[in-house]
Structure 1
Amino acid sequence: MRNKKKILRSAITATAAIAIVGLLSACTADGTSTSPSGDSENPWVGDKSEVYQLVDFAPSYAFFVDVYAGFQAAADQLGVSVEHGGGQQLDVGVQVTAFEQMAAKKPAGIAVSPFDAQAFTGPIDAVIDGGVPVVTFDSDAPESKRSSYIGTDSYAGGVAAADALAQFYPDGANIGIVTLLGSTNFETRFRGMQDKIDSDYPNLNVIATANGGPDANSSAAATQSMLQANPEIDVIVAGTTSSLVGALQAVKEANLSIKVNTFDAVEPTIDSIRSGVTDFAISQAPWSMGYWSLINLYALKHDLVNPFPNGSDFGISPLPEFTNTGIQTITKDNLDAFE
């Protein structure tokens, strides 16, 4: 992969370094490390024997590859080891089983992106009850015992997409959606988009939604069928990178000039914006999700964050309920910042 998002990553890493330097402020002038309690060992220097896991529902998917890059970067700074895994099928049962199999290795901590919030609540609770810290990222399971959610506000991401549609199509548009149905995260995102359209943009109309399935080929077939059934579609919004790639393929094969807009600042998205077949994408900072997931897990494992001395007795997490990694609307005007 080329050096995409170099500027953002540098900014994120600098911010993270400042935060960690603050935590490590007990380092002495002669270079020896001391913990806040005065011990000779620095609590923010880990050990390679500590293994933290990143578990998601599509490990080879470009978005999660970026998440893992951030997870690995934090591991390199802390001196710990990491693993990346998850189910290879977009089936809730397969996803839960993959999570449970990873957790059975008894890692130092797990960051998981639940494909379905309800289905993952019980398994997450069981892992935590077994003594393994868990945080969620990108997709949340808010009713579980997870200690924190690191990611974007999916609903707000959908609202941002509606705002961008209104900006690029001020005279109105008929919108077709191609996405992966069944994911809590994606459904929340498009609910936000629809609600914003309903409240503020009466000349925007979502007229069809197609299930793009797990890959670009299935997304291309779904887009083709959607366009044949709804020839009045002016613009497409793709919920995933594979949906974007497949939709663009279907549009090209149909010899149409319809733009396909999307989410996530990954390489196919950057390329499609630069080539002019995509007007905008809503970025969710996947690298940052991975980075802060591991920082939070490490702090939990080593009991380094303790704002409430007796909080654990009452089920109160020492971490923020929600670490918002933010959203950015990417267009040709600011594209260079994301490469």
Structure 2
Amino acid sequence: MKAAIPFVHIVPAAVFLLALLTAAGCGSSQEVAPPLAGAPAAPKEERPPLFTFGIVYPMAHPFYEEITQLAEKAAEPFSIQLIVKAPEEINLEQQIRMMETMIKQRVDAIAIDPIDSRALVPVINKAVEAGIPVICFEADSPDSKRLSYIGTDHFQAGTAMGGVIERLLKGRGMLLVQTGLAGMEIQQARLEGLLLYLEEHTDIQVLEIRYHEGSSEQALADMEAMIDDHPHFDALVSMDIISGSTSVLVWKAKGLNRDAVAFGLTPEIKEAVHNGQIASVISQNEQDWGHLLIDHLLKATQKIAVPAFVDTGIQEIKKEKQAVAR
């Protein structure tokens, strides 16, 4: 503790200052000049944000950039700073380090789309134990201490994709499938839902399934190889956003007139549906995620209860601009 300044040292200085101001006022009749026209106003003091929220994506992609924009818009009425992080490509170790950094920064709450639901459990729990509430979105980590999950039932989403393929191929035909990481639970759930539906309700044959393991280059090479190996295929299903983006490139380059179906409504996929490269896309109603993330994070910081699972549902988007809610 600093020693208190003796009162006797302060009074003379105050009296002296008052005397100077009085003398200046009495000795001159000149008025203080107004500020010059057009002169910049004194900068206003910026207040620090009331809350700092972290958002961690599985990778950098326009799909997630759009969600960030929606979250920023939802945060505008509040004094919220967003720290947004994502590996350049899907990388579990980088995502874990990003979570560790946010814990050290003492952010107020974190929203994460976990690459590996099980591998992220320790770091999610570490954040919660440090007093930082965590919510998951798109992919869940149910064995962790996360507060809530915002997203959809991915098995049901795969089932819905099976219904779309059945309609497009009229229950018969040959199908190619590309998906993401073999060990990613949401990818497996979507694939299982799709395959089970096709087996039980159609005579559609799945010719080949390939995993690109998070690499755009691998996705392109695999997709071109599948098409070359099975030239008489009738449709291709892209089960993740990397596969969807790749299918747009391939359809444009090859001018294919087969049906391509995608999962995840990215800006690129929206355009491809409009242009006819993509016949149909299954959306997770991603347009709702931004405001739901901010709402849940705000409530979490204020100890207000939030649902353990918010099902955003799915809808099919087709060229006719008709959405079929499910």
For the criterion TM > 0.5, the same-fold answer is yes
What are the superposed Cα offsets for residues 108-157 of structure 1, whole Å, 9 maximum, x if unpaired? 10000000111011111111011100000000001111010011111111
For the 8 Å contact 1:67–1:291, the answer to whether it is kept is no
Contact 1:221 1:250 in 2 (8 A): no
Matched, 1:298 2:298: yes
Q: What are the within-5 Å matches in structure 2 for residues 59-208 of structure 1?
A: 60-181=60-181, 182-201=183-202, 203-208=203-208
> Distance in 2 between the 1:180 and 1:271 partners?
22
Gapped regions of structure 1 (runs ≥ 5): 1-45, 306-317
Letter in 1 for 2:76: D
Q: In structure 2, how many angstroms separate the alpha carbons of the residues matched to 1:145 and 1:287?
A: 26
* Residues 144 and 193 of structure 1: CA distance in aligned 2, closer, same or farther (over 3 Å): same
Partner SS for 1:206 = strand
The reply to whether residue 57 of structure 1 matches residue 44 of structure 2 is no
SS of alignment partner, residue 118 of structure 1: coil
1:48 — aligned with what? 49
Residue 250 of structure 1 aligns to a residue whose secondary structure is helix
Asked if 1 retains the 8 angstrom alpha-carbon contact of 2:103 and 2:130, the reply is no
Counterpart of 1:334 in structure 2 is 321
| Shift in Å, 1:210 | 1.6
Alignment partner, residue 322 of structure 1: 309
1:234 is matched with 234
Is the 8 Å Cα contact of residues 111 and 136 (structure 1) preserved in structure 2? yes
Q: Does the 8 A contact of 1:62 with 1:241 survive in 2? A: no
Compute the displacement of 1:215 (Å): 5.0
Instruction: Quote the offset at 1:255 in angstroms.
Output: 5.2
What TM-score do you get using the length of structure 1 for normalisation? 0.76
CA contact (8 A) 1:224 1:251 kept: no
For structure 2, the 5+ residue unaligned runs are 1-46
The TM-score, its normalising length taken from structure 2, stands at 0.79
Q: Which of these two proteins has the greater Rg computed from alpha carbons?
A: 2
How many equivalent residue pairs? 277
Higher relative contact order (CA 8 A, sep 6+): 1
Measure the CA separation in 2 of the matches of 1:61 and 1:253.
22
Could you say what secondary structure the match of 2:257 adopts? coil
TM-aligned CA deviation for residue 214 of structure 1: 3.4
Alpha-carbon contact 2:285-2:314 (below 8 Å) kept: yes
The one-character-per-residue Cα deviations of 1:245-280 (angstroms, maximum 9, x if unpaired) are: 322333454554222210122211111111112110
- Mapped to 1, the partners of 2:158 and 2:314 lie a distance apart of 10
Alignment of 1:197-276 (within 5 A): 197-201=198-202, 203-214=203-214, 216-254=216-254, 256-276=256-276
Structure-2 change in CA distance of 1:290 and 1:249 (3 Å): same
Contact 2:56/2:95 (8 A) holds in 1? no
Give 3-state SS (helix, strand or coil) of 1:78's partner.
coil
Give the letter for the 2:52 counterpart: V
Identity %: 21
Q: Could you say what secondary structure the match of 2:85 adopts?
A: strand
Question: Any runs of at least 4 consecutive aligned residues in structure 1 with deviations exceeding 6 A, and if so which?
Answer: none
